[in-house]
């Protein structure tokens, strides 16, 4: 993982809100939430205790989920954090993860991101049967869950900015 | 698995994890701190004990959650619950939908909105303001988001200020997160079951 730190706020940087606009004022009113969102990004993407998922794998999976959500700029941002070339193509939703032995993980992450409602007990069982520990399953879910939040906040703020009356 | 609840309800079910939660007696000092275990608070839910596997995220997630749902100003509590409910309905998270439908009914002192939503889904008969809120949050919860400029305009036409719209985005997005934990890591089961 690059030593370059994420800038202070991914949400602010990528949403490009003009200073002094009504949207900027609304965001100022929730500056605590924006700051906590960044703290959470750091905890999910760059934890001290990584379990089975290195910072590089996390960045690649985050980029993959951003891409599945059509958030190209966000996907690029996470891709730029990947230093380990051997996991870089996990960021591409068209790649299966087979080359890295992470096919089951990629299938699971894609389904949780896109077909959340269809997830059922066998999806967790298949991870357990593939030898993924329960703690690492929780870690995967947190990465996926955080990304679901971040992509929607970005999409929503962009609409606020673009769809002015 | 006959005790798993598959239909939306306001009766909050139990939650049964699909993975093994941490055991309190094995918890690290960092986990105990994140769980806020004190001599007077030793009853921790299976859900939180499950999330304690990823303690760094658990620690920072609770203040974010509370800020988005309860901070003063902006969108009313009731309408934040509606945003949370719309997301939970899209993701079919029975547990989250039950908790937030029941909170909505409590705060609104009215069950008609959530009755209508559970009976008719997106075809529910809602007030214009609730309609705009629900439709926007429902669309934002799709993958990728299907929220449109027209829906944004409908929010403004229904009288929502920018601060309120931002709170709606945050509450719906937050449940995109919560649903992917609750609905993925466990099953909603009949209360008091095995």
For residue B34, list chain A residues with Cβ-Cβ distance below 8 A.
Answer: none
Q: pLDDT of B48-103, one tens digit each? A: 999 999 999 999 999 999 999 999 999 999 999 999 999 999 999 999 999 999 99
Distance from the A75 Cα atom to the nearest Cα atom in chain B, whole angstroms: 13
DSSP letter string, A6-75: PPS-HHHHHH-PPTTSHHHHHHHTTHHHHHHHHHHHHHHHS-S--TT--HHHHHHHHHHHHHHTT-HHHH
Q: What value does the mean pLDDT take over residues B7-28?
A: 96
For residue B181, list chain A residues with Cβ-Cβ distance below 8 A.
Answer: 141-142, 145
User: CB contact, 8 Å: B172 with chain A?
Assistant: yes
Q: How confident is the model at residue A128 (pLDDT cuts 50, 70, 90)?
A: very high
For residue A149, list chain B residues with Cβ-Cβ distance below 8 A.
Answer: 173-174, 176-177
pLDDT of residue A165: 58
A49 is a domain residue = yes
What is the ipTM score, two decimals?
0.96
Domain that holds residue A97: 18-162
Q: How confident is the model at residue A59 (pLDDT cuts 50, 70, 90)?
A: very high
CA nearest to B131, candidates B151, B107, B146:
B151
For residue A121, list chain B residues with Cβ-Cβ distance below 8 A.
Answer: 1, 18, 187
Judge: B144–A119 Cβ closer than 8 Å, yes or no.
no
Q: How confident is the model at residue B139 (pLDDT cuts 50, 70, 90)?
A: very high
Of the candidates B167, B183, B185, the beta carbon closest to that of A138 is on B185
Of the candidates A116, A142, A153, the beta carbon closest to that of B183 is on A116
A1 is a domain residue = no
B15, β-bridge pairs: B188
A91 is a domain residue = yes
A133 pLDDT more than 60: yes
A73 is a domain residue = yes
Q: pLDDT of A62-103, one tens digit each? A: 999 999 999 999 999 999 999 999 999 999 999 999 999 999
- Domain B1-194 indexed as CATH 1.20.1290.10: yes
Residue with tokens 């004190």: B38
The better pLDDT of the pair A163, B91 is held by B91
Asked if B181 and B46 count as a contact pair (C-beta separation under 8 A), the reply is no
What mean pLDDT is reported for chain B?
Answer: 95
A118 pLDDT more than 60: yes
B194 pLDDT more than 70: no
Residue A103: cis peptide before it, omega within 30 degrees of 0: no
Domain boundaries, chain B: 1-194
Of the candidates A32, A114, A145, the beta carbon closest to that of B143 is on A114
How many domains would you assign to chain A? 1
Alpha helices in chain B (DSSP H): 29-35, 46-51, 55-70, 77-90, 94-108, 112-120, 128-140, 149-157, 162-185
Calpha distance A108→A120 (Å, rounded): 11
A59 is a domain residue = yes
Judge: B92–A117 Cβ closer than 8 Å, yes or no.
yes
Q: How confident is the model at residue A150 (pLDDT cuts 50, 70, 90)?
A: very high
pLDDT of residue B192: 75
Q: pLDDT of B99-130, one tens digit each? A: 999 999 999 999 999 999 999 999 999 999 99
- Any idea what the CATH number is for the domain that residue A56 is in? 1.20.1290.10
A6 is a domain residue = no
Q: pLDDT of A4-58, one tens digit each? A: 444 479 999 999 898 899 999 999 999 999 999 999 999 999 999 999 999 999 9
Judge: B19–A48 Cβ closer than 8 Å, yes or no.
no
Q: How confident is the model at residue B191 (pLDDT cuts 50, 70, 90)?
A: confident
B46 pLDDT more than 70: yes
Judge: A121–B68 Cβ closer than 8 Å, yes or no.
no
A32 is a domain residue = yes
Q: How confident is the model at residue B144 (pLDDT cuts 50, 70, 90)?
A: very high
Evaluated on CA atoms B10, B77, A30, B133, the torsion sign reads positive
Q: How confident is the model at residue A3 (pLDDT cuts 50, 70, 90)?
A: very low
pLDDT of residue B193: 58
Calpha distance B131→B82 (Å, rounded): 10
Q: How confident is the model at residue B43 (pLDDT cuts 50, 70, 90)?
A: confident
Judge: A159–B149 Cβ closer than 8 Å, yes or no.
yes
């Amino acid at each position: 993982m690059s030593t370059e730190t994420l800038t202070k706020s991914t949400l602010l940087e990528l949403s490009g809100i003009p200073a002094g606009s009504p949207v900027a004022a609304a965001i100022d009113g929730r500056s605590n939430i924006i700051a906590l969102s960044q703290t959470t990004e750091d905890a999910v993407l760059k934890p001290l205790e990584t379990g089975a998922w290195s910072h590089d794998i996390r960045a690649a999976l985050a980029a993959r989920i951003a891409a599945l959500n059509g958030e190209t700029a966000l996907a690029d941002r996470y891709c730029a954090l990947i230093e380990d070339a051997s996991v870089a193509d996990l960021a591409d939703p068209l790649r299966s993860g087979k080359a890295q032995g992470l096919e089951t993980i990629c299938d699971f992450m894609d389904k949780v991101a896109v077909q959340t409602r269809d997830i059922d007990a066998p999806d967790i069982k298949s991870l357990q049967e593939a030898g993924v520990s329960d703690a690492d399953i929780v870690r995967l879910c947190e990465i996926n869950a955080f990304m679901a939040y971040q992509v929607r906040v970005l999409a929503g703020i962009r609409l606020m900015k673009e769809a002015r009356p | 698995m006959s005790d798993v609840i598959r239909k939306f309800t306001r009766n909050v079910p139990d939650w049964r994890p699909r993975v093994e939660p941490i055991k309190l007696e094995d918890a690290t000092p960092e986990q105990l701190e994140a769980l806020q275990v004190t001599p007077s608070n030793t009853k921790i839910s299976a859900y939180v004990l499950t999330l304690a596997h990823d303690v760094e995220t658990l620690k920072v997630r609770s203040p974010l959650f509370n800020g988005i749902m309860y901070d003063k100003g902006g969108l009313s509590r009731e309408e934040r619950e509606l945003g949370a409910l719309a997301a939970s309905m899209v993701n079919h998270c029975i547990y989250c939908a039950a908790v937030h439908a029941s909170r909505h009914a409590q705060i609104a002192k009215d069950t008609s909105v959530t009755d209508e939503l559970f009976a008719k889904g997106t075809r529910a008969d809602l007030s214009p303001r609730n309609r705009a809120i629900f439709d926007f949050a429902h669309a934002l919860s799709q993958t990728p988001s299907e929220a449109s400029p027209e829906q944004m305009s409908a929010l403004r036409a229904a009288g929502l200020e920018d601060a309120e719209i931002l709170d709606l985005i945050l509450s719906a997005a937050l449940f995109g997160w919560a649903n992917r934990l609750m609905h993925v890591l466990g099953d909603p089961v009949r209360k008091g079951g095995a």
